[in-house]
Structure 1
Amino acid sequence: MILLTCLIIGMVSHVLSDSTGCAAPHSLDKQLTRLSQHFNINHPDVGNGGAIFTNILKKYKQIPEKSIILDAILHLYLDLFKVLMQHNEVKDEVSIVANSLNECMTSANYKTQKELLSDLKKLYNIKWDDQMVQRKAIIELHDVLDIMKDTGKRRRKRNMGRRPRI
C-alpha cells in the first residue's frame, strides 16, 4: 500500500501537468509535499517492483490513447483518495488534491474521453454467444473494414507529406 501511495503521489503532478482545465501542479506543491512526507516516499523499498503508472503512460505516444489511459488513472487516483481520507493527519491535503482531480475530470476533454471509455466497456461486454449479436456483427463487418481501410489511407497521406528525418 505504501508503494502504491508513493508512486501515486508522484504521478498526481504529472497527470495534472498534462491535463487541460486542471489546477496547475505548482498550486498543489504544499499538499503533495505534505503527503510525500506522511507516506515517507524516500523509503528505500519504494523503488521495488518499478513504477505503477509511468511505465504504462510512456508506452502511448499519441494523444487519444494517452488521454484514455490518463482518464483511467484519474479514476484510480480518486479511488485511492477515498481510502486515504481515513488518514486524519492528511485528510485536508487528500481532499484538496482530489478536488483538483475532479476538476480535471469535468473538463470538456475528459467528458469525451469518459464517453470513449464507456463505449470501450460496452464493446468488451458484448455477449458473443447470442445469435442476434452474431448476425449484427456479420452485417456490420463490411462497414467496419471500410472504415479501417479509410483510416489507414488518411495516415499514409498525412505521413507522405512529411520530410524524412536525417
Structure 2
Amino acid sequence: MIFLAIFIIGMVSNVLSDSARCTPLNSLDEPLTQLSKHFNINHHEVSEGGEILISMLKKYRQAPESGVMLNVILRWYLDLFAHIKPQSGIENQISIVANSLKECLNSRTENNFVSDLKELSKIKLEDQLIQRKAILELEGILNIMKETGKRRRKRNMGRRQRT
C-alpha cells in the first residue's frame, strides 16, 4: 500500500502540474495522509511484490503513450475509489481526491483519445456499410501513416545529428 499511496500522490501531482484547472496539490495533503493511515501503507506486506501501476506507467515514457496510460490509470483509481467508498471514516477523503482526479481527467487532452479508442472498439466489423466506408477511407489512412513515418524519420535524423 505504500506504493499505492506514493503512486496516488505522484499521479495527482503529475496531473495537477499538467493542468491549471485541477485542484492544487497542497490541498490534497491531508486527505492523502488520512487515506495512507487508514490503509496502513507502512505494513510490510505492502512492499512485497514491487510496484503495480508505476511499473506499467514507466513502460510508456514517450509523451503520447504515457498520457494515454496515465488517463487509463486515473480512471482505474476512480473505479477503485468507487469500490472502497462504503468503508467508514474515509468517505470524505476519497471524495476529495476523486473529485480532484475527475477535474484533472476532464482537463487532459488524452481523454478524447481514450474515448475515441473505446468508440473504435465498438464499431461492428460485420456491418457491410462499415466495411465499404473503411475500404473507401483506407487509402487516406495509408497516406496519413506514410506522412507520419516521414515526420518521425526527419525528427530522428535531426536528433542523431545533434549527438
- The normalised TM-score by structure 1 is 0.83
| Distance of 1:125 and 1:103 partners within structure 2 | 26
| Counterpart in the other structure of 1:86 | 86
Instruction: Give 1:126 shift.
Output: 2.2
What's 2:106 paired with? 106
CA distance in 1, matches of 2:121, 2:50: 29
Deviation at 1:146, TM superposition (A): 0.7
Number of the residue aligned with 1:136: 133
- Partner Cα distance (2:110, 2:63) in 1: 11
Structure 1 residue ranges (4+ consecutive) displaced by more than 6 angstroms after TM superposition: none
| Preserved CA contact (<8 Å) 1:60 1:66 | yes
Q: Residues 62-110 of structure 1, C-alpha deviation per residue, up to 9 Å, x if partnerless? A: 2122111111111111122222321221122212211221221232xx1
Q: What is the root-mean-square deviation in Å for CA atoms of aligned residues? A: 2.0
| Match in the other structure for 1:30 | 30
Q: Deviations over 1:117-163 (max 9, x none)?
A: 11111212222222222222222111111100100101111122223
For 2:63, the aligned partner's letter is: I
Q: Give the Cα–Cα distance (whole angstroms) in 2 for the partners of residues 81 and 8 of structure 1.
A: 12
Q: Which residues in structure 2 correspond to 1:14-93 (within 5 Å)?
A: 14-19=10-15, 20-21=18-19, 22-93=22-93
Q: Distance in 1 between matches of 2:91 and 2:66?
A: 30
Structure 2 CA distance for aligned equivalents of residues 73 and 8 of structure 1? 12
Counterpart CA distance in 2 for 1:49 and 1:155 is 38
1:30 CA displacement: 2.2
Which deviates more from structure 2 when the two are superposed, residues 53-62 or residues 131-140?
131-140
Matched residue of 1:61: which SS? coil
Secondary structure in structure 2 of the residue aligned to 1:18: helix
Aligned to 2:149: 152
Q: Paired residue for 1:12?
A: 8
With normalisation by structure 2, the TM-score equals 0.84
Quick check: 1:57–1:69 contact (8 Å CA) kept in 2?
Answer: yes
* Identity score, percent: 49
**Runs of 5+ consecutive residues of structure 1 not aligned to the other structure:** none
- The count of aligned residue pairs is 158
Q: Which runs of 5+ in 2 are unaligned?
A: none
